[in-house]
Structure formats: structure tokens, C-alpha cells
């Protein structure tokens, strides 16, 4: 294997796609992304913050880059496809349809895993003819779940993929301090492997996992089922590429 490919690899046969917040799983020919939070701009507008709408355009551009890199038969959207907790708004409808349409042109199968923001997703998805899995989707030995609640893991499962946390890492040295999204991976207490995907939304600022206390983590799976400090960190930046770090415990913020 070439060095360039090695740097992308998370577990054998699972790698990060082209500096994007997305992974490709070779064995099941599947792309996985998480936390798109579509329609978040409208949510902010309802709160009185009128952000210009850019999210949809950027998500489509990023998806395009992914499909230019990888041809896969399936894509898994691992929860929080859209942002709103309540009934879908027009903007969300439009955005969801547009993205689904684009995905259909590029993959044979679209899998939606239900997240905590996806209460009304079922209606939209059924109209668009897409299956929604709740609380998890399994393909071979891999389980996809959003990560907002703990679940019983079936025995034959070897790898668990979650989202929800929207992890990011703060890099600091001297005057410099930058936060970038990151992917977390490692072993769970039960011996299975786990991957936590970063958010695919350009609006996400992320939870700085090397700053906060374990109790403040959003995902109960990360809080309870893993030794959080032992998880390894891969920073992902569109320009700088993939930056591999040791485990979180070593990256805890110190001055």
C-alpha cells in the first residue's frame, strides 16, 4: 500500500475520502457521512439570525468531489440529515429532495439512519422512496447508528460507526490556535471497534474534544461505552488534508 493511502486508512479497508468528512468502506462498497443538518439556516432565521444560505451549495460541491474520487454502490447517511426537530419546512423539503436526487444519480442505494433531529424524516423519506433505519443499520459486520442513545450491540458486529458528536480538535502552539473537524476511532470497552464521523455540514463548528470534560460529551456511547481518552484523532482539513494525532488523552489542552 502506498504511503498516501496509508495515511487515509482508519481500519483495514476503511479510509477517509479525499480530505472530506466522509469515509469509504471497501468490504461493503459503502460511503458514510453524518450530521448534514440541512435547513439549519432557516432554523437560525426563525431565531432572528438571517445568515445567507450557502449550506446546500457547499454540501453538493463536497458530495461531487467524493463521487469523483470513489464509485460506491451505497451511501449511508448516519443520522441528522436535516436540522429541524419539528415539522419539515419548505427549505428543508427542497434541500432534502435536491440532495437525494443528486445521490440517486451517483449510487444505487441510499440508507438513512434516524438521528435525534430526524423526527419528521420518515414522511419525507417515504415520499422520496428511501428507507429509514432506526436505531441502526447493519451491513455484514458493520453497524451504523447515530449515537444519541446507547444500544445493545449484536454479537457478530465488529465495527460500530456513529455521528452525533460532531467532533473537532483545537490545535495550539505559541500564538497559534485553530479548531478543525476531526474523526475519532479506536476500541470500545467491549472490544469492538468504533468510528465517530465528523459533521458533513459546512455550518458545524464542532465540539472541541480535547478541551471539554468527558461528562460534557453529547453522545452517551462515547461517554459510557469507550475509554474516551484512548480514542485516536484524525484531523481533516479541506486544504491541509489529513493530520493524524495520537489519542485524545495526550492532546488535552495544556499551556
At 225, list the grid cell: 461505552
Query: How many other C-beta atoms lie within 10 A of the C-beta of residue 192?
Result: 17
Q: Find the shortest distance in angstroms from Cβ 151 to other proteins.
A: 27
H or E segment and range at residue 66 = helix 55-69
Q: Find the shortest distance in angstroms from Cβ 154 to other proteins.
A: 36
At 222, list the grid cell: 462515547
- What character string, x for contact with other proteins (CB under 8 A) and - otherwise, covers 93-132? -x--------------------------------------
Query: Strand, helix or coil at 121?
Result: helix
- Cβ distance 146 to 34 under 8 Å? yes
H or E segment and range at residue 9 = strand 9-11
Contact stretch for other proteins (CB under 8 A) within 3-11, 88-96, 104-112, 127-135 = 88-96
- Contact between 91 and other proteins by CB under 8 A: the answer reads yes
At 118, list the grid cell: 430526524
Query: Which candidate, 142, 42, 45, 24, places its Cα nearest to that of 88?
Result: 42
- Cβ distance 248 to 170 under 8 Å? no
- Cβ distance 185 to 193 under 8 Å? yes
Site for other proteins in 144-173 (CB under 8 A): 170-173
- What character string, x for contact with other proteins (CB under 8 A) and - otherwise, covers 34-73? --------x-xx-xxxxxxxx-------------------
Q: Find the shortest distance in angstroms from Cβ 28 to other proteins.
A: 31
Q: Find the shortest distance in angstroms from Cβ 117 to other proteins.
A: 13
Q: Find the shortest distance in angstroms from Cβ 50 to other proteins.
A: 5
- Contact between 4 and other proteins by CB under 8 A: the answer reads no
Residues that bind other proteins (CB under 8 A): 42, 44-45, 47-54, 90-91, 94, 170-176, 178, 180, 203, 205, 211, 235, 237, 239-240, 243, 245-246, 250-251, 253-255
Amino acid at each position: 500500500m502506498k504511503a498516501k493511502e496509508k495515511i487515509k486508512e482508519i481500519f483495514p479497508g476503511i479510509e477517509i475520502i479525499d480530505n472530506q468528512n466522509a469515509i469509504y468502506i471497501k468490504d461493503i462498497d459503502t460511503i458514510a457521512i453524518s450530521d448534514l443538518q440541512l435547513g439549519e439556516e432557516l432554523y437560525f432565521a426563525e431565531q432572528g439570525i438571517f445568515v445567507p444560505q450557502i449550506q446546500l451549495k457547499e454540501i453538493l460541491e463536497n458530495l461531487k468531489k467524493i463521487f469523483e474520487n470513489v464509485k460506491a454502490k451505497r451511501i449511508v447517511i448516519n443520522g441528522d440529515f436535516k436540522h429541524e426537530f419539528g415539522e419539515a419546512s419548505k427549505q428543508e423539503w427542497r434541500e432534502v429532495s435536491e440532495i437525494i436526487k443528486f445521490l440517486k444519480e451517483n449510487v444505487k442505494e441510499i440508507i438513512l439512519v434516524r438521528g435525534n433531529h430526524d423526527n419528521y424524516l420518515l414522511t419525507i423519506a417515504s415520499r422520496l422512496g428511501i428507507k429509514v433505519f432506526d436505531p441502526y443499520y447493519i451491513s455484514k459486520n458493520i453497524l451504523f447508528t447515530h449515537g444519541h442513545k446507547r444500544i445493545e450491540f449484536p454479537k457478530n458486529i465488529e465495527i460500530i460507526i456513529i455521528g452525533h458528536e460532531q467532533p473537532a480538535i483545537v490545535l495550539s502552539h505559541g500564538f497559534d490556535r485553530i479548531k478543525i473537524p476531526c474523526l475519532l476511532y479506536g476500541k470500545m470497552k467491549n472490544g469492538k471497534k468504533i468510528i465517530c464521523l465528523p459533521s458533513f455540514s459546512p455550518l458545524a463548528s464542532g465540539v472541541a474534544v480535547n478541551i471539554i470534560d468527558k461528562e460534557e460529551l453529547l453522545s452517551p456511547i462515547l461517554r459510557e461505552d469507550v475509554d474516551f481518552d484512548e480514542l485516536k484523532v484524525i484531523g481533516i482539513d479541506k486544504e491541509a488534508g489529513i493530520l493524524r494525532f495520537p489519542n485524545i488523552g495526550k492532546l488535552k489542552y495544556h499551556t
